[in-house]
Chain A
Amino acid sequence: MSAIFSKKFDTTLRLAAAGVVLVLATGGGIAAYLLHPNQVDTGYTPTQPVEYSHKLHAGNLGMDCYYCHTTVEKSSFAAVPTTETCMNCHHRVKEKSPKLQMVRESYSTGQPIPWVKVHRLPDYVYFNHQAHVTSGVSCVSCHGRVDQMVEVKQVEPLTMAWCLDCHRNPAPKVRPAEFVTKLDWSPEGDPVELGLKIVQAKGIQPPTHCSGCHR
């Protein structure tokens, strides 16, 4: 019986197989890089319904985070302020500004402003906001320098590894609770030394077992 394939065929086939493996591996690597939360999630800056500037309010005017985000140290859920909170000032300040049209409408109709949530965790993660704030984890550790952002942008990847970095070694990220909302605060001495003291004094033991966050 005559040969079906030429002598070179075997080499060609092996090279082709190696080529396919190479292409798939490269493609997989590129896809894994591009789909990594560092690329996909970090930098997420949704357009908000109202052109609200955190830089102006929290930065230039120096308003405390707690003024609007009232539940962050009392509740597992960090609330977005109601329109009434805005109107506390804005029924006197810039009360004719066209940028505040939607705020005034919301105030008169009672329909909340559809703010877009920026920092979203997966639904299988149990996250307790007050536990973090009362332990002395500053806003800046997860949300970045919001006081310098016109539009709020996600600066951290919010991956599990990122959570665990701090859960395994909380001292560098812990500060006295009264400075939690002072985003530019830094201690006079060694921050880790101070952090360790707070961790010991408060008995902070962040969970690293599965059911700490996945309940």
Chain B
Amino acid sequence: MADLALDPRAELNPTLVQGDATYAGVTDAISVITESKPPKQWYYAMAVAIPLAGLLFFCLGYLVMNGIGVWGNNSPVGWGWDITNFVWWIGIGHAGTLISAILFLFRQKWRTSINRAAEAMTLFAVACAGIYPLFHTGRPWRAAYWLFPMPNELLGMWQNFRSPLMWDVFAVSTYATVSALFWYVGLVPDLATLRDRAKGLRQQIFGILSLGWRGSARQWKHYELAYLILAGLSTPLVLSVHSIVSFDFATSVIPGWHTTIFPPYFVAGAIFSGFAMVITLMVLARWVYNLQHLITIKHLENMCKVILATGMIVGFAYGTEFFIAWYSANQYEKFAFLNRAFGPYAWAYWSMITCNVISPQFFWFKKVRTSIPAMFILAIFINIGMWFERFVIIATSLHRDFLPSSWGYFSPTWVDIGTFVGTIGLFLTLFLLFLRFLPAIAISEVKGVLHNQLVSNKGGH
């Protein structure tokens, strides 16, 4: 940001902005999206997303009227698609935080044109994730004092503070709060840009939202310090949130869950799935809005590299789990993993391996890393694979109880499927609204990179 021009490494990425590489050009290209009618593709996407979001509300209403028996989870598989989807969505959110916080602290300039959309994706993913535990209570209106330690005279007791489920409530709510603040603080200068280009009511709305931003040196100084502090606050969250989500499983005594490898393995998986989702969304967004000169192949290639690295960690973790199952000489552990690979859920396990271990290997090739169709298809595969990972962990570990008389098999109901597809609809609806009404790329930050590029094109200084 402020010291961009002083950073010698910036010269390594000289062309992060292509095309009309002027300040006005960048402002125009991004602002115009929010100021004019969206292209046809946007309406087509909305026509798919809104009915699906409606399906979500229908399914949730149906659940509230009838109780959580309408879902497929029942003894012994007490956690089914609900927690699978919760972990999947929370994981997806992690890419946004990693891009906005950790890559910022490491001065990775290429984050600038994708961080805004990735942060928005985080917020929407966390919103989708939150739906599941909330509605798994069956009585979401009571969740306030069931989930949060709120003084009340109904329960007569506090939550179990030794339970990771309690920590999870704090982790996810902190995550949502900090992500929202970070996203909004980053938006302020860009909202002011939109305000200055607008007239009438639009100007008033953006005037209120931009909190009196005038772009003075003093304001920039405060802004950059605030942004740095928020980046610092978000950084531990990238690691802590999914670590705590993994504790929900790891602190239990269920073979297949009771594993010390879970926290790092879950965090790597979260970043892996999150970047896959960022690629999925950014490929579509740059195509719909012609942003190829701002979200360049370079950005996408870098994300493919992150996917390759985290995908290898995830694959290594799968291997380690099997190694420990053998090395521990614990017959229950051994059974849990053999059953995972060769039992009734083998189809899910091998789908997971194919999608998560094999498909990222294609990113070793630069041709694949720079091919839009290839990376889009692989990203979709990884999204599917990471969903299967959570399903495999949850369903295969639970369906073989310690007592063979309690063995079972999980099958989703139409409400399970409708709720899951519905959250995808809600996520897409929110994301499309974001693309339509807010600057999807951080104008001020791209200009910071552009400044560097313009200076170095003139021979540096």
Q: Which residues from chain A sit less than 8 Å from chain B, CB to CB?
A: 1, 4-5, 10, 13, 36-37, 123-124, 159-165, 208, 210
Cβ contact within 8 Å between B154 and A161: yes
CA distance A123 to B138 in the complex (A): 11
Q: Select from chain A the residue with minimum beta-carbon distance to B145.
A: A32
Cβ contact within 8 Å between A4 and B67: no
Binds A, one of B200-208, B248-256, B296-304: B200-208
Is chain B's binding surface mostly helix, strand, loop or mixed? loop
Residues of A within 8 Å of B152, CB to CB, are 161
**How close is A212's CB to chain B, nearest CB, in angstroms?**
12
Interface residue? B153 (CB, 8 A): yes
**How close is B212's CB to chain A, nearest CB, in angstroms?**
7
**How close is B262's CB to chain A, nearest CB, in angstroms?**
24
Given A10-B212, A123-B67, decide whether A4 and B204 contact each other with a Cβ distance below 8 A: yes
CA distance A10 to B208 in the complex (A): 9
Cβ contact within 8 Å between A1 and B196: yes
CB < 8 Å neighbour of B195 from A4, A164, A210: A4
Residues of B within 8 Å of A36, CB to CB, are 154
Cβ contact within 8 Å between A160 and B204: no
Cβ contact within 8 Å between B154 and A37: yes
**How close is B205's CB to chain A, nearest CB, in angstroms?**
10
Q: Can you list 9 contacts pairing A with B, beta carbon distance less than 8 Å?
A: A4-B203, A4-B207, A124-B138, A159-B153, A161-B152, A161-B154, A164-B156, A164-B157, A208-B157
Cβ contact within 8 Å between A159 and B157: no
Q: Which residues from chain B sit less than 8 Å from chain A, CB to CB?
A: 67, 138, 152-157, 160, 195-196, 203-204, 207-208, 212
Q: Select from chain B the residue with minimum beta-carbon distance to A28.
A: B144
Is chain A's binding surface mostly helix, strand, loop or mixed? helix
CA distance A4 to B153 in the complex (A): 49
CA distance A13 to B210 in the complex (A): 13
Cβ contact within 8 Å between B156 and A161: yes
CA distance A165 to B155 in the complex (A): 10
Top 3 closest A-B pairs, CB basis? A161-B156, A164-B156, A4-B207
Q: Select from chain B the residue with minimum beta-carbon distance to A208.
A: B157
**How close is A42's CB to chain B, nearest CB, in angstroms?**
13
Q: Select from chain B the residue with minimum beta-carbon distance to A168.
A: B156
Q: Select from chain A the residue with minimum beta-carbon distance to B68.
A: A124
Residues of A within 8 Å of B203, CB to CB, are 4
A sample of 17 more A-B contacts (CB under 8 A), given A161-B157, A163-B156, is A4-B195, A4-B207, A5-B207, A36-B154, A123-B67, A159-B154, A159-B155, A160-B156, A160-B157, A161-B154, A161-B155, A161-B156, A162-B156, A164-B156, A164-B157, A208-B157, A210-B160
CA distance A162 to B152 in the complex (A): 12
Q: Select from chain B the residue with minimum beta-carbon distance to A210.
A: B160
Q: Select from chain A the residue with minimum beta-carbon distance to B196.
A: A1
Cβ contact within 8 Å between B153 and A161: yes
